[in-house]
Amino acid sequence: METKKLEFFFCIFLFSLLAGHQKVGGSSHHHHHHTHRHPYVFKPSKLFVFGDSYADTGNIAKSQANSWKFPYGITFPGKPVGRFSDGRVLTDYIAKFVGIKSPIPYRLRKYAAKRIRYGINFAYGGTGVFNTLVPLPNMTTQIDFLQQLIHDAVYSCSDLQSSVALVSLAGNDYSAFTARNGSAQGLQSFIPLVVTQLATNLKRIHGLGVRKVAVTTLEPLGCLPRSTAMSSFQMCNGTQNAAVSYHNLLLQQAVAKLNNESKDSAFVVLDLYGSFMSVFKNKGEHPGSSKFVNPFKPCCVGISQAYSCGSVDGSGVKKYTICNDPESAFFWDTVHPTQEGWHAVYSALQASLEQLH
Ligand SMILES: *[C@@H]1O[C@H](CO)[C@@H](O)[C@H](O)[C@H]1NC(C)=O
Ligand SMILES: *[C@@H]1O[C@H](CO)[C@@H](O)[C@H](O)[C@H]1NC(C)=O
Ligand SMILES: *[C@@H]1O[C@H](CO)[C@@H](O)[C@H](O)[C@H]1NC(C)=O
Ligand SMILES: *[C@@H]1O[C@H](CO)[C@@H](O)[C@H](O)[C@H]1NC(C)=O
């Protein structure tokens, strides 16, 4: 315990030294290793990822999810690898923005030792800040994993100094609450508890030495196909979206408070809600192409309520259907965007991503 505390302080101490040093950098200290042409542009070299299926790139075990079954992964990398999509997910696009390879899943860190220099993805599908219905590491435990790696000297303070974190919270705490309680009653008073725990986690990640911490707003849950199915994929559920807006308001306030407490504006909100909504509104249309004819209709669905995308029966007969062209669908299954959907969201996120520099 004692040594851990010391290391923690050391990292912070070094951090303040580096930060102070950078302000005077360029005038007299030409030999230091921050050799960027513009001394104030932060160019991260590592990405650490925490959260759920919107960010998981293969931590979830094969026995635990459909994401390891065909047709998940058919667009990229061409077979199921645990991503909850036909291809790339949010993590892959954020890594692209940062200019590094997508960080390897924590589960695979020992098999790809060279890749850990791009960071590590600790996200597990189905998880939340609290324990959910899946027996997988919650966000606190995911952060414990990073802390252990720092303790084991896998990452140094200067590594952390040149890293950013992506934190995805897509709503599993709320589905678990609703499932356990049999209704969404009382959800309103649960929302502040989730956001408070999330803010605690963000602060802890920064406290470990990670320079910038980006957190996503909650996507419009009422527009996920599992909700729009009631209206034949025509209408979002306004009640659910109102709860989401409350979560996002509290999150914005919590992040503003964290930034006010930290001198360096370390915390960035990635507006997933606004990005999803703007894609729905203009149907993801880029000049010269019209896409996502019905953005609420998923590409891959079970043939009935009892089945989902990827389901097969005892004799291996598939119990789902896939659309002809996954590129024309925003949603892959009843909860997760397609690669093309994430690409459109990524385009819409550009403005908030600039804050990472
Ligand atoms: C996270 O999971 C661990 C292990 O199950 C548990 O002890 C801890 O209370 C959980 N944290 C939160 C914030 O729910
Ligand atoms: C669960 O639902 C009931 C109504 O069905 C509600 O009175 C109660 O507050 C909810 N539980 C929690 C923990 O909010
Ligand atoms: C919207 O969601 C709420 C809460 O999950 C549910 O009670 C309600 O029936 C839904 N409304 C519609 C129109 O589907
Ligand atoms: C930051 O915190 C200080 C002291 O708590 C407060 O006076 C100030 O209004 C806050 N600034 C912002 C921008 O929230």
**Residue 3 banded pLDDT, cuts 50, 70, 90:** very low
Q: How far is the CA of 237 from the centre of ligand 3 (A)?
A: 6
Nearest alpha carbon, ligand 1 atom 1: 138
3-state secondary structure 170-191: CCHHHHHHHHHHCCCCCHHHHH
| Residue 32 bears catalytic tag | no
Q: What does the pLDDT read at residue 224? A: 98
Q: How far is the CA of 352 from the centre of ligand 3 (A)?
A: 31
**Residue 264 banded pLDDT, cuts 50, 70, 90:** confident
Average pLDDT across the chain, whole number: 90
138 lines ligand 1 (CB under 6 A): yes
Q: Please check the confidence at residue 27 and state whether its pLDDT lies above 90.
A: no
Per-residue DSSP letter, 285: -
| Residue 336 bears catalytic tag | yes
Length of the chain: 357
Q: Please check the confidence at residue 94 and state whether its pLDDT lies above 90.
A: yes
Q: How far is the CA of 186 from the centre of ligand 2 (A)?
A: 5
The active-site residue out of 159, 168, 333, 343 is: 333
Atom in ligand 1 nearest the alpha carbon of residue 197: 13
To 5 degrees, how large is the angle CA 172–CA 51–CA 233?
45
Q: Contact at 8 Å (CB) between 48 and 120? A: yes
The more confidently predicted of residues 287 and 171 is 171
237 lines ligand 3 (CB under 6 A): yes
Q: Give per-residue pLDDT as tens, 194-204.
A: 999 999 999 99
Q: Please check the confidence at residue 180 and state whether its pLDDT lies above 80.
A: yes
Nearest alpha carbon, ligand 2 atom 2: 185
Q: Give per-residue pLDDT as tens, 62-86.
A: 888 999 999 999 999 999 999 999 9
Domains and CATH numbers, the chain: 2-19+43-290+339-356 (3.40.50.1110)
238 lines ligand 2 (CB under 6 A): no
Q: Please check the confidence at residue 11 and state whether its pLDDT lies above 70.
A: no
Q: What does the pLDDT read at residue 219? A: 98
350 lines ligand 4 (CB under 6 A): no
Residue that the structure tokens 């324990």 belong to: 131
